[in-house]
């Protein structure tokens, strides 16, 4: 087989495509681990006699390692500048906090 630049590009693209698939699978697994941690810790924190905001922040603090790993994997997958992804990560964190508030509130009324 004759070596060509096009062949080298196609080969490199196929390797990088496989890396992207592996990265996506890793991000998905970390997302699942993060969600599982948030659910588990919400069940632990919900019965405690603290206000909703404190309870939600406590859950996030307990799951800091999992959520940080998910955010880092998501950032590594992002094709643009790492500065450009900061607003998306801030939105994810705000949505995560709101979701934890709802989990704790629902667990408290059950």
Query: Which pLDDT does position 84 carry in this prediction?
Result: 86
Q: What are phi and psi of 84, to 5 degrees?
A: -65, -25
46 pLDDT tier (thresholds 50, 70, 90): very high
* Residue 90 pLDDT exceeds 80: yes
Residue 4: alpha-carbon gap to chain centroid: 40
Q: What is the mean pLDDT of the segment spanning 29-43?
A: 91
0.85 surpassed by pTM: no
Contact 102, 52 (CB under 8 A): no
Q: How far, in Å, CA of 49 to CA of 74, rounded? A: 35
Taking each helix axis from N to C end, the angle separating 86-109 and 52-62, rounded to the nearest 10 degrees, works out to: 120
* Residue 60 pLDDT exceeds 80: yes
Residue 28: alpha-carbon gap to chain centroid: 8
Query: Which pLDDT does position 13 carry in this prediction?
Result: 42
């Amino acid at each position: 087989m004759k070596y060509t630049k096009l062949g080298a590009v196609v080969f490199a693209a196929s390797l990088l495509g496989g890396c992207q698939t592996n990265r996506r699978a890793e991000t998905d697994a970390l997302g699942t681990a993060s969600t599982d941690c948030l659910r588990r810790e919400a069940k632990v924190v919900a019965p405690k006699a603290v206000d909703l905001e404190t309870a939600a922040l406590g859950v996030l603090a307990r799951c800091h390692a999992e959520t940080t790993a998910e955010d880092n994997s998501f950032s590594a997958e992002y094709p643009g500048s790492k500065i450009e992804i900061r607003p998306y990560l801030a939105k994810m964190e705000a949505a995560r906090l709101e979701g934890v508030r709802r989990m704790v509130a629902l667990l408290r009324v059950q």
